[in-house]
């Protein structure tokens, strides 16, 4: 059996990213060894990877946990990342979301998110604490009453936003319904959203439409345009939550087609 104390680090394959994280872990966590799991752009993989890619990361973490009794997972992301060439703001958001995803695995490990600065310094972004527990988090969605739409949307939101539960507000063909709604119905929908927001502080609000909806009288392009218009309408309600427009395609795969920050 291995002796010594271990941390598990999910980091970029980029050689420049290795020492800053290793030094920070040794200094701040006082652990002797680091098991490195590397991916090009790990913050992207953990938040936008396929279910198989994410399962593979989890499997590697569990090897480290089982063999070396690691009790802490560090997820790091860095600027100038060839595997994930996005803005610093996007990196930071992905690292925090990714840490939530890892915490949701229920491995009973502490999860820490680190941003590697352009000067190759370290800025901690989030930390679950030793118990490895992040309070249960919620997403919120306006979706069709169609029972086929619920699971693909909810599973995808859990995976990509690191939330544990999805509160649903359902309407038949919601993109059409909201655009044609009476003031009373809009008020009613707004009240339901506010109820969920006050009770559960969701981190994202999805407005979703799907193929094969309402007898297919509208094309996918028209549905998608309606989703964007509904998202813009809901944004005027000033709910203080980021809004995404989502299209569920013929395979029930969700696609982000619109994004409005909180
Ligand atoms: Zn990189
Ligand atoms: Zn529908």
At 200 the pLDDT is 87
**Centre of ligand 1 from the C-alpha of residue 80, in Å:** 7
At 131 the pLDDT is 54
Lowest-confidence segment of 29-38, 121-130, 166-175 by average pLDDT? 121-130
Q: Which ligand is nearest to the CA of 82?
A: 1
Alpha helices in 104-241 (DSSP H): 147-161, 174-179, 183-200, 220-235
Residue 176 pLDDT exceeds 60 = yes
At 163 the pLDDT is 82
At 134 the pLDDT is 46
Confidence band for 1, pLDDT divided at 50, 70 and 90: low
Q: Which ligand is nearest to the CA of 85?
A: 1
Confidence band for 4, pLDDT divided at 50, 70 and 90: confident
At 215 the pLDDT is 78
70-108 confidence digits (pLDDT tens)? 999 999 999 999 999 999 999 999 999 999 999 999 898
Which residues have CB atoms below 5 A from the ion given as ligand 2?
144, 146, 213
Alpha helices in the chain (DSSP H): 18-29, 42-48, 51-68, 88-103, 147-161, 174-179, 183-200, 220-235
**Centre of ligand 1 from the C-alpha of residue 15, in Å:** 9
**Centre of ligand 1 from the C-alpha of residue 18, in Å:** 10
Please tell me the distance from the alpha carbon of residue 91 to that of residue 209, in angstroms, as a whole number. 28
**Centre of ligand 1 from the C-alpha of residue 26, in Å:** 21
At 195 the pLDDT is 94
Residue 135 pLDDT exceeds 70 = no
Positive or negative, the CA dihedral 172, 175, 176, 182 is positive
**Centre of ligand 1 from the C-alpha of residue 234, in Å:** 36
**Centre of ligand 2 from the C-alpha of residue 209, in Å:** 7
**Centre of ligand 1 from the C-alpha of residue 194, in Å:** 39
Q: Are 6 and 68 in contact (CB under 8 A)?
A: yes
Averaged pLDDT for residues 54-82 = 95
At 23 the pLDDT is 93
What residue has token string 């709604």? 181
Choice between 134 and 72, residue whose per-residue pLDDT is larger: 72
Q: Which ligand is nearest to the CA of 21?
A: 1
Averaged pLDDT for residues 54-73 = 95
At 214 the pLDDT is 83
Please tell me the distance from the alpha carbon of residue 165 to that of residue 201, in angstroms, as a whole number. 11
106-127 confidence digits (pLDDT tens)? 898 999 999 999 999 999 999 8
Confidence band for 160, pLDDT divided at 50, 70 and 90: confident
**Centre of ligand 2 from the C-alpha of residue 165, in Å:** 21
**Centre of ligand 2 from the C-alpha of residue 183, in Å:** 22
Domains of the chain: 6-127 (3.40.1050.10), 138-260 (3.40.1050.10)
**Centre of ligand 1 from the C-alpha of residue 81, in Å:** 4
Mean pLDDT score of the chain: 92
Work out the percent of the chain whose per-residue pLDDT is above 90.
81
Q: Are 239 and 194 in contact (CB under 8 A)?
A: yes
What totals of helices (H) and strands (E) does the chain contain, helices first?
Answer: 8, 10
């Amino acid at each position: 059996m291995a002796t010594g104390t271990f941390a598990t680090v999910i980091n970029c394959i980029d050689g420049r990213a290795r020492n800053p994280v290793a030094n920070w872990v040794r200094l701040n966590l006082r652990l002797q060894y680091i098991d490195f799991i590397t991916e090009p752009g790990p913050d992207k993989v953990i938040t936008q990877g396929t279910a198989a890619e994410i399962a593979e990361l989890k499997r590697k973490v569990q090897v480290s946990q089982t063999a070396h009794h690691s009790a802490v997972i560090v997820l790091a992301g860095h600027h100038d990342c060839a595997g994930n060439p996005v803005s610093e703001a996007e990196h930071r958001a992905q690292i925090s979301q990714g840490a939530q995803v890892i915490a949701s695995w229920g491995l009973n490990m502490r999860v820490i998110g680190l941003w590697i600065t352009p000067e190759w310094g370290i800025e901690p972004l989030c930390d679950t604490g030793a118990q490895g527990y992040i309070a249960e988090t919620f997403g919120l969605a306006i979706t069709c009453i169609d029972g086929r739409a619920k699971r693909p949307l909810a599973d995808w939101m859990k995976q990509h936003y690191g939330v544990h539960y999805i509160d649903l507000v359902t309407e038949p063909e919601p993109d059409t319904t909201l655009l044609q709604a009476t003031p009373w119905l809009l008020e009613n929908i707004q009240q339901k959203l506010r109820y969920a927001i006050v009770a559960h502080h969701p981190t994202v609000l999805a407005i979703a439409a799907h193929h094969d909806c309402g007898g297919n009288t509208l094309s996918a392009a028209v549905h998608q345009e309606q989703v964007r218009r509904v998202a813009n309408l809901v944004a005027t309600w000033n709910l203080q939550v980021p809004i995404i427009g989502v299209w569920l395609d013929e395979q029930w795969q969700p696609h982000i087609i619109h994004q409005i920050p909180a």
